Amino acid sequence: MQDVIIVGGGLAGLSAAASLAKQGKSVTLLERGQLGGRAVTLKLKDFSFNFGAHAIYGRDTSILQNLEKELNIHINWKDFNPNKAKYDIGHELTDVPANIKGLFRTKILKSTDKLQFTFNIFKTMISVEKGKEHVSIKKWMDDRHINDDVKKMMLTLASSNFFTSEPEKIPSTVYFNYYRKLFKTNKPVAYVGGGWQSLIQQFVTVIEENGGTIITKQKVDEVEVAGDKVISVSSKGQKYRAKEFIFAIPPKELKKVFESTTISHYMEHYAQYEPSYVFVYDIALKERIEVPYTYIYNQEEKMFITDISYYDETCVPENGQLLQAIAYMKPEDVGNKLTTEAIQNKIEEMYDKHFNGWRELLVVPRISKRAMAQEISWNMKQSPMPVVIPNLRNTYFSGDWCEGEGQLSELSFTSAYKATSMILEK
């Protein structure tokens, strides 16, 4: 019997398996498809395209820093340059207030508004401002009569960090918990050099070198529960038994595998939640278009372009350039042909405006009209799934739909880290 069975080989499952194997636990990881989940690096015509949100926020306080040391892996960090970040405000570009220099140079806020915005940051950092339970960030700002420009700035920040077109719906407590940590960091945004694949491969190496087993093309279709414990999972007629179980698969899959158990209603609840979707439009160019910025955010349209190859030169051939545009989508936008066509046209217009000549240099585009940024969108009607539930004593859950710190991939890593820590403490 194994110490731990992990179901799901995305970032959460892989990091959990690596941590446990490194600590001497016998581990088997079961993955129905390819390793990495939504975090995938795809090679097209010598360009490396990353699927899944691959920016790491607050990397100097990120759980990945812990994993780097504990697993003895190397992450080739590529830190974002805030001085090359701009807001498109229609008639001109202005600095993003990502640091003190940007705050005082930006034209998006008046001088008095900058003081109010800075004061709100200060209160958040020293934990004076924590938000209010069951109150959205919009209502919190309305109740305090926050200036419209400052309000817009606070929502713009949230839109980009939470990957949402509806930042006003974020719970105020979630908003301030997130920014309390981010405002204290010295490395607000970073990318993983070599893309997700470099990190995934290092997790795999740690697992295998420490006696762990990875089985792909192994879809778990049933869970066996006895009393308050999971005793086995089944795949293709074979049962896998262990002392502890970590399920790193999304709620909709959990609903299916736990269907015949007494906690199926619990999974049903989270399976109904709406994900957060974005429209992704990457373009690979045979030559660089030199511009004085690497990040452009259009406030009005809630879309941005990042020069990925500026930060990670390994993703392009010599002299090439890889640009990524992301537009945040509302639930009603997903699958709407007219809306997605309009979004694509606006992105192309944004490329025309800020990277003139890209059409003539285009090698290959990559378009995803409904890319899932996060399994559960943060709003007042949805809350993350706990890492543990009282009904099952030997079972844990991890992924970006679970309780943890940060957003996006950080939620996957922190929920997995919490699950493994609880197992190791037993």
Closest CA to 189 of 318, 131, 316, 102: 102
Q: Residue 206 annotated as binding? A: no
Which pair of structure tokens corresponds to residue 372?
């899932």
Task: Identify the DSSP state of 402.
Answer: B
Distance CA 12, CA 30 (A): 13
Q: What is the DSSP string of 93-122?
A: EEE--SSHHHHHH-SSS-HHHHHHHHHHHH
Q: Which phi and psi angles does 342 have, rounded to 5°? A: -65, -40
Contacts of residue 377, Cβ cutoff 8 Å, sequence gap at least 6: 164, 166, 273, 274, 275, 276, 331
Contact 396, 17 (CB under 8 A): no
Contact 86, 293 (CB under 8 A): yes
Contact 120, 130 (CB under 8 A): no
Contacts of residue 375, Cβ cutoff 8 Å, sequence gap at least 6: 250, 251, 273, 275, 399, 400, 401
Contact 41, 48 (CB under 8 A): yes
Task: Identify the DSSP state of 314.
Answer: G
Q: Which residues are annotated as a binding site for FAD?
A: 220
Q: Which residues are annotated as a binding site?
A: 220
